[in-house]
Structure 1
Amino acid sequence: MDNANYTAYTVSEKIDDSVITIETGYFARQSSGAVIVKQGGTEVFVAVVVSPEAQPDIDFLPLTVEYREKTYAYGKIPGGFVKREGKPSNREILVSRLIDRPIRPLFPKGFHNDIIITAMTLSADDKHDPDVLAILGASAALTISEAPFEGPIAGVRVGRVDGKFVINPTYEEREKSDLDIVVAGSKDAIVMVEGGSEEVPEEIILDAIMFGHEYIKKLIDFQLELASKVGKEKIVVEKDEFEEDLKNKLVNYKEEILNAFKIEDKKQRNRTIDEIFNKVIEDLEIPEELQTKAGFVFKEFVSEVMREQVFKEKIRIDGRKPDEIRPIWIKVHPLPRPHGSAIFTRGQTQALGVVTLGAPGEEQIEESIEEGEEKKRFMLHYNFPPFSVGEARPPRAPSRREIGHGALAERALEPLIPSEEEFPYVIRVVSEILESNGSTSMASVCVGSLSLFDAGVPMKKHVAGIAMGLLKNEDEYIILTDILGDEDHLGDMDFKVAGTRDGVTAIQMDIKIKGLTKEILQEALERAREARLYILDLMYDAIPKPREEVSKYAPTVVKLRVLPDKVPLIIGPSGKNIKKIIDETGVKIDIEPDGLVKIYAVNKEAADKAAAMIDELVMDIEKGDVFLGKVTRVEDYGAFVELLPGRLSLLHVSQITGERLKSAKDKISVGDVLKVKVIDVDEQGRAKVSLLDVKEEDIPKNKDIFQG
């Protein structure tokens, strides 16, 4: 074998106290480009394949990103019966989206070749998250491939520990950080932002983004160095003469399109625009084989007309001004039986939020490189059924988009969720999208907060979200507040910001142009803050504080505190005692090693009964106490009396009557219930009891809980 064919090409860049390295050349050589990105003991492999031919009759980039975390990377074998990796986890789907979003805008118009990006974490240490390395790897692999990628870009994570920004913080540092955002950018501008924070002000978020951009520039330089060594010749995208000619002819239909924009209802407006396109087909006698391509050109022209109108007249598709929010309607507790519910409507976007409170054991269990096996007691699930956009098709399994939107809304609300000590429930929020016309994820944040308040979850503040848009024409730009679906599709930016009155809790930005400047980001954040405060005022008017009590249909929670050495008494031999309580009452019981006992029951009666049974098990037995006890065994020398479950005492034959008895069996039988007094307790807690000194007026210590 000629080892010269397997030469490794390596570039490195120091990022604070750590080094990031990119290698290529000796692996996956049949792909269009492949790299391994390393930081510490974490290594991510990324391969890109570009198809030689373009897909016909499409107007989008056919890009697929698949990120997978191999369990061998962190020294484990997959769980379950099938000992191999299965379908992508939510974490893997979210990282796939994180890779996809910053690179998708950076391809020339008209490039329709299939691009498949495969990223795999091959090694994972306990410090460095592979997700930002995967973004870097995707960019590097594209940069050295034949794909006409207009990068490179890079991604970094920014945290803030003790008021100081940290680049690519370790897992330990992230635990102490009050913000956690991923920033992706080119040499000159920001192309994506994703993350959350603990009510951090907008100006600090902006500083964090720009702090990350300085390191991004360094990571771009060494990708260019690698491309200079091994980069391939790029595919050239040719102009389409049919498209250019048709675009010039569409100018004659501009006024009709402008009139259609005045229609406020989305479906009616879109139907009218479709009718204009059909007229174009008929008037220009476009042959059937070119009608699909003509539709793409028409859509682009509609976008240009929309943009021109906003720039000239400062009036949007539905007649609003750039900073105007659509009418908002809120209804709290529309559903009687769920534990909490609300409806949030903003224009033609409507979300139904439903909260369910659960007991321990109902947590969501997830496994990832980042957290290992983790139990989630707060979860938000987002559903986007076809009827919400008027589509006549059957429902399907949650898409990557649904998982991504749910994760964003969950991240926005999570900083305000009370601790388990304060509120010992598992909390599930479901956002059902009933209507969609722009920013359903931010509607999910709003309806989630409202329904959590309705459920009596003791959140200290409401959380709201808003989506901002952008139209940019060279040096001129307009920021749009509360964008419509059409403004998202036809515009240049989708910038979602969620938070409280005091700061940001979640942020997500995607763009369709090559990047944004600091000035645009700053203005968008400020406009989003103003809109968020307006929406929060309406939410506080609807329900100003969480309800004092949870729903009567929610599980009842009773907390008990016992001495740690009493815990084995509750559990009993082989779990006998706790099983008996659960079987007789139907409750769920969670016991901490420090003696905290939490009882979850469907009603108060069951909880009280379980608590009484636990009290009985841990009750102290002291000299002089009077108990009711059941005789479990009789011998000549005495009887064994069960004072409390599993806790026997000896009634000696001499303590039964004042007379001398030959055998205890002469007076006592198994099953007898006796009122006895404790006359002694030894060091092991074993009691001796008597019938001699018991008076009729003595009240047994266990009279309220004696089971007989």
Structure 2
Amino acid sequence: MSETIETTIAGRTLKVDYGKIGMLSDCAIFISYGDTVVLVNANASDKPREGVDFFPLSIEYEEKLYSVGKIPGGFIKREGKPTDKAILHARAIDRPLRPLFPKGYRNDVQVVCTVVSVEQDNLPDILAINGASIALCLSSIPFNTPVGAVSVGIVDEKFVINPGLEERKKSTLNLTVCATDERIMMVEAGGSEIAEDVMYDAIMFGFEECKKIVKFQKEIMDKYGKEKIVPELYKVDETLEQEVRDFCFDMVKEVMYITDRDKRNDELDAVKQKVDDEFKEKYPDNGADIAEVLYKIQKEIVRNMLLNEHRRPDGRKFDEIRPISCEVGILPRTHGTGLFTRGLTQVMTVATLGSLGDAQILDGISSEESKRYIHHYNFPSYSTGETRPLRGPGRREIGHGALAEKALIPLIPSEEEFPYTIRLVSEVLSSNGSTSQASICGSTLALLDAGVPIKRPAAGIAMGLITSEDLSKEEIITDIQGIEDFFGDMDFKVGGTEVGITAIQFDTKIHGLSKECVRGALDGARKARLFILDKINACIEAPRKELSKYAPKTFTMNIAPDKIRDVIGAGGKVINKIIAETGVKIDIKEDGKIFVMSDDTESAKKALKIIDDLTREVKVGEIYLGKVTNITKFGAFVEILPGKEGLVHISKLDFKRVNKVEDVVSLGDEILVKVVEIDNQGRINLSRKDAIKDSEKKESKEE
């Protein structure tokens, strides 16, 4: 059976081809929007995975360079590990889908979204979220709640659904909204300081469009969907659970009301040991089940404490932020550093300035080819007091770094204002809630310390949520710490300035957020953000007026675009010679703007003079200090600028009659000459005696 189903979204056709590809997958579809096509395959294991206490869902997003007519770079010439963008898109698919699977479902589920054709007007990542939802709904996998996803832009102060490439260039907002037909599941946003009211309206605008996509999916599901399997859900034996509860519930409750985190953890470890000693003989093979019951008890107690008793584990008010401290310049040889501490969360960010040639080259399917502002985030094991092998960044680290980068992008000065590549590295030194938002704050401090003229400081905060089972009751909390994040229902991260929002990322563990919750979280985040910005401003009010003495200095000049070839030379021979002689870095733009970077000012000035000489036009009447390069019977050839030489006829060498050229000049002499003529063949005629005469007149006037 092969079916093609279509609907219209934002005036363009969304099409699903089902039943003609991937015959051995549980479900395989082509989903297309314009000329953008994503292949989606969904499969699940027959039985639950043994020995796990989580749902093993795997979302893969693969970018094929043939989708944009590219051949991969490098020696191997094939796609390798996922790009950072592909990882971010996979996370964006995972977050709204994961909470909608049945609780206790522990079968391996894999959804693979392969981008096979890309039209830049229609984003494949948005299409992949919709495709993953459709494939799961059509499959036999126990997934019954479809989600729709759209992007929202603001062009000429109007909201636009799924903006095209040119509209995205003009848009002040890059927003992704994913929702069911009842509640919002996920939001990703980057914007140019968007006001809270405008951001809320944009989210709601996208929400309404998501409902249309969900309705379309439900129609497909009802008509073509496979019969859903009845899953084997993991559940702890009721007798065991009751015995563990009876034994330790009161002890756990007493411990969870301890406000000091370290003391609470120590006492909790002691309770766990008592439980282990009590049940290890009766239930020797049920250690994981006992741990599951203990987790459920802690969760119940903390959620009840927050929702019904209006009390936080550390005793704070619901809108209270933990103690904050800010420091700058703590590392002596780096270009800029910021240390931000909020409670037991601490992040150090280090700023490094480089040449424009240090910009990151991007080899992917998007239209973006490079970026000069880079943000990296590291989360080592010591940040939580644990031990584990140190490996490369995982998906979480890449996601957190991208979020902090997104929050600061609108504030970074343009290349014309600040001709540097900027790299920030956020090192998480201690983690107890929202290190990604702490890295925004630490990065602001580092940029200011480095002397980067950012538009204004930015800060970030994470908001949390606790809801009742039926979602009828909810409480929003500000500046969530680890225990509230662990047992809560939402992680709503908002970064921005005093003017507005620059980045949002939220996901949920429940079946979505209400409109009221979104509104409340945005308002609470603004209040907290302004409080943190006051702390940052008290530490450092403005960018330092001078760069670090260890940072390279950049000098700029402009030349005519048709002179670029003279600076570069055949095979780069000329520019490489300049670099070798001066030790500088040189970047040349297509419009003729040249950037020279060096730690030594004199070396930079020397390089600029060489380039200026290479590109200057020789003008009649000007005097030059040139070098004699060749001597003939009828005169001397003098190089007045690099690659440009003219002839001083023997009659123009001196005021008196010259019998032999060598009587006046020798090979290698530096002499003053005046350009007296440039003939129609471009040949330059020079005069030494006219240059001497003009110099004498000038000296006489000065005297």
2:299 counterpart of 1:299? no
SS at match of 1:368: coil
Structure 2: which amino acid aligns with 1:276? V
Structure 2: which amino acid aligns with 1:398? P
SS at match of 2:451: coil
Out of 509, 521, 532, the residue aligned to residue 518 of structure 2 is 521
Matches within 5 A, 1:340-489: 340-371=336-367, 374-473=369-468, 474=470, 475-489=472-486
Aligned to 1:704: none
Structure 2: which amino acid aligns with 1:439? S
Matches within 5 A, 1:198-209: 198-209=192-203
Aligned to 2:179: 185
Q: Could you say if the C-alpha distance between residues 659 and 46 of structure 1 is closer, same or farther in structure 2, counting changes exceeding 3 Å?
A: same
Pairwise CA distance, 1:61? 0.6
Out of 208, 225, 232, the residue aligned to residue 227 of structure 2 is 232
Aligned to 2:610: 613
Q: Deviations over 1:293-332 (max 9, x none)?
A: 2101211210111111122332211221211111111111
Aligned to 2:52: 58
Q: Is the 8 A contact 1:108 1:150 kept in 2?
A: no
Pairwise CA distance, 1:466? 0.3
Q: Is the 8 A contact 1:352 1:432 kept in 2?
A: yes
Q: Is the 8 A contact 1:467 1:494 kept in 2?
A: yes
2:503 counterpart of 1:506? yes
Q: Is the 8 A contact 1:357 1:426 kept in 2?
A: yes
Q: Is the 8 A contact 2:346 2:431 kept in 1?
A: yes
Q: Deviations over 1:57-86 (max 9, x none)?
A: 322110011110111222222222112211
User: What is the CA–CA distance in structure 1 between the aligned matches of 2:243 and 2:511, rounded to whole Å?
Assistant: 26
Q: Could you say if the C-alpha distance between residues 77 and 563 of structure 1 is closer, same or farther in structure 2, counting changes exceeding 3 Å?
A: closer
Q: Deviations over 1:3-40 (max 9, x none)?
A: xxxx2123222113112122211222222222221111
SS at match of 2:369: strand
User: What is the CA–CA distance in structure 2 between the aligned matches of 1:563 and 1:53, rounded to whole Å?
Assistant: 69
SS at match of 2:188: strand
Greater alpha carbon shift after TM alignment, 319-328 vs 309-318: 309-318
Aligned to 2:127: 133
User: What is the CA–CA distance in structure 1 between the aligned matches of 2:641 and 2:551, rounded to whole Å?
Assistant: 32
User: What is the CA–CA distance in structure 2 between the aligned matches of 1:19 and 1:642, rounded to whole Å?
Assistant: 67
Q: Deviations over 1:332-355 (max 9, x none)?
A: 111121111110011111100111
Q: Is the 8 A contact 1:41 1:124 kept in 2?
A: yes
Out of 68, 83, 89, the residue aligned to residue 95 of structure 1 is 89
2:4 counterpart of 1:16? no
Q: Is the 8 A contact 1:635 1:663 kept in 2?
A: no
Out of 159, 164, 168, the residue aligned to residue 170 of structure 1 is 164
Q: Is the 8 A contact 2:105 2:234 kept in 1?
A: no
Pairwise CA distance, 1:700? 13
Greater alpha carbon shift after TM alignment, 450-459 vs 209-218: 209-218
Pairwise CA distance, 1:691? 3.4
Greater alpha carbon shift after TM alignment, 222-231 vs 408-417: 222-231
Out of 2, 15, 25, the residue aligned to residue 19 of structure 2 is 25
SS at match of 2:285: helix
2:668 counterpart of 1:674? no
User: What is the CA–CA distance in structure 2 between the aligned matches of 1:498 and 1:252, rounded to whole Å?
Assistant: 45
2:117 counterpart of 1:123? yes
Structure 2: which amino acid aligns with 1:324? E
Pairwise CA distance, 1:183? 1.0
SS at match of 2:99: coil
Pairwise CA distance, 1:663? 4.3
2:105 counterpart of 1:111? yes
Q: Could you say if the C-alpha distance between residues 587 and 146 of structure 1 is closer, same or farther in structure 2, counting changes exceeding 3 Å?
A: same
Q: Is the 8 A contact 2:434 2:461 kept in 1?
A: yes
Q: Is the 8 A contact 1:333 1:342 kept in 2?
A: yes
Q: Could you say if the C-alpha distance between residues 678 and 84 of structure 1 is closer, same or farther in structure 2, counting changes exceeding 3 Å?
A: closer
Q: Is the 8 A contact 2:645 2:684 kept in 1?
A: yes
Q: Could you say if the C-alpha distance between residues 700 and 537 of structure 1 is closer, same or farther in structure 2, counting changes exceeding 3 Å?
A: farther
Pairwise CA distance, 1:696? 8.9
Structure 1: which amino acid aligns with 2:550? Y
Q: Is the 8 A contact 1:423 1:457 kept in 2?
A: yes
User: What is the CA–CA distance in structure 2 between the aligned matches of 1:431 and 1:542, rounded to whole Å?
Assistant: 19
Q: Could you say if the C-alpha distance between residues 700 and 179 of structure 1 is closer, same or farther in structure 2, counting changes exceeding 3 Å?
A: farther
SS at match of 2:413: coil
Structure 2: which amino acid aligns with 1:476? K
Structure 1: which amino acid aligns with 2:288? T
Aligned to 1:75: 69
With normalisation by structure 2, the TM-score equals: 0.94
User: What is the CA–CA distance in structure 2 between the aligned matches of 1:624 and 1:240, rounded to whole Å?
Assistant: 95
Question: What RMSD, in angstroms, separates the aligned Cα atoms of the two structures?
Answer: 2.2
Greater alpha carbon shift after TM alignment, 208-217 vs 398-407: 208-217
Aligned to 2:536: 539
Structure 2 residue runs of 5 or longer lacking an equivalent are 699-703
Q: Could you say if the C-alpha distance between residues 247 and 536 of structure 1 is closer, same or farther in structure 2, counting changes exceeding 3 Å?
A: farther
SS at match of 2:55: coil
User: What is the CA–CA distance in structure 2 between the aligned matches of 1:587 and 1:251, rounded to whole Å?
Assistant: 74
Matches within 5 A, 1:647-658: 647-658=644-655
Q: Deviations over 1:609-637 (max 9, x none)?
A: 22232333344544444433221111111
User: What is the CA–CA distance in structure 1 between the aligned matches of 2:551 and 2:662, rounded to whole Å?
Assistant: 52
Aligned to 1:39: 33
User: What is the CA–CA distance in structure 2 between the aligned matches of 1:357 and 1:238, rounded to whole Å?
Assistant: 53
Q: Is the 8 A contact 1:243 1:294 kept in 2?
A: no
Q: Is the 8 A contact 1:247 1:301 kept in 2?
A: no
User: What is the CA–CA distance in structure 2 between the aligned matches of 1:503 and 1:33, rounded to whole Å?
Assistant: 43
With normalisation by structure 1, the TM-score equals: 0.94
Q: Could you say if the C-alpha distance between residues 37 and 693 of structure 1 is closer, same or farther in structure 2, counting changes exceeding 3 Å?
A: closer
Pairwise CA distance, 1:665? 4.2
Aligned to 2:581: 584
Structure 1: which amino acid aligns with 2:583? G
Pairwise CA distance, 1:367? 2.5
User: What is the CA–CA distance in structure 1 between the aligned matches of 2:279 and 2:573, rounded to whole Å?
Assistant: 84
User: What is the CA–CA distance in structure 2 between the aligned matches of 1:266 and 1:130, rounded to whole Å?
Assistant: 44
Q: Could you say if the C-alpha distance between residues 22 and 576 of structure 1 is closer, same or farther in structure 2, counting changes exceeding 3 Å?
A: closer
Greater alpha carbon shift after TM alignment, 665-674 vs 530-539: 665-674
Q: Deviations over 1:556-590 (max 9, x none)?
A: 11122334455444445654443332111111122
User: What is the CA–CA distance in structure 2 between the aligned matches of 1:580 and 1:700, rounded to whole Å?
Assistant: 38
2:633 counterpart of 1:636? yes
SS at match of 1:462: coil
Structure 1 residue runs of 5 or longer lacking an equivalent are 1-6, 702-708
User: What is the CA–CA distance in structure 2 between the aligned matches of 1:178 and 1:697, rounded to whole Å?
Assistant: 60
Q: Is the 8 A contact 1:10 1:226 kept in 2?
A: no
Q: Could you say if the C-alpha distance between residues 293 and 57 of structure 1 is closer, same or farther in structure 2, counting changes exceeding 3 Å?
A: farther
Q: Is the 8 A contact 2:149 2:177 kept in 1?
A: yes
Aligned to 1:4: none
Aligned to 1:270: 265
Q: Could you say if the C-alpha distance between residues 24 and 291 of structure 1 is closer, same or farther in structure 2, counting changes exceeding 3 Å?
A: same
User: What is the CA–CA distance in structure 2 between the aligned matches of 1:454 and 1:227, rounded to whole Å?
Assistant: 56
Aligned to 2:701: none
Q: Could you say if the C-alpha distance between residues 347 and 237 of structure 1 is closer, same or farther in structure 2, counting changes exceeding 3 Å?
A: same
Greater alpha carbon shift after TM alignment, 688-697 vs 306-315: 688-697
Pairwise CA distance, 1:550? 1.6
Q: Deviations over 1:651-694 (max 9, x none)?
A: 11222345555542455432223333443343565432233345
